Structure 1
Amino acid sequence: MKASFEHIESVYWVFTQLCNDQCAHCYNLSGPKGAKMSEEECMQIIENLPPKIDRIILSGGEPLAERQKLYAILDRLKQRYPAHTQLMLQTNGDLLTEEILDTLIAKGVTRFDIASIDRFHKNAGARLTELADMFASRGVNGDDKDPLVDKDNYLHGHPLSWGYWGATDDMWLGGNWARGRAIKKGVWKKDPAHNFCTILSGARNFLGGYDDIPQEISIQLWQINPCCPGTKKALGDARHQKVADAMMQASQSPMWQKLNEGNPWQMGEHLGVSEAHAKARTQALKNVCLWCDEFFEQYCKASAHQVVEN
Structure 2
Amino acid sequence: MKYISHESGNLVLSDTRKPQLKNHEVLVKVAAIGVNRADCMQRQGKYPAPKGDSPILGLECAGTVVELGNEVDKSWLDKRIFTLCAGGAYSEYVAVDAKQLMELPDDVTMVEGAAISEVYLTAFGALFELGKLQHGQTALIHAGASGVGGAAIQMAKSAGATVVITAGSDEKCQHAKSLGADHTINYKNTDFVDYMQSHNLTANVIVDPVAGSYLNKNAQVAAMDCQIIMLAFLDGRFAEVDFAALLRKRISFHASTLRNRSIDFKRQLRDDLVERFYNDIASKNYDFNVYKTLPWTQAQEAHAILERNENAGKVVLLIE
TM-score range relative to shorter protein = under 0.3
Q: TM-score normalised to the size of structure 2? A: 0.27
Q: TM-score normalised to the size of structure 1? A: 0.28
Which one has a larger percent strand, Structure 1 or Structure 2? 2
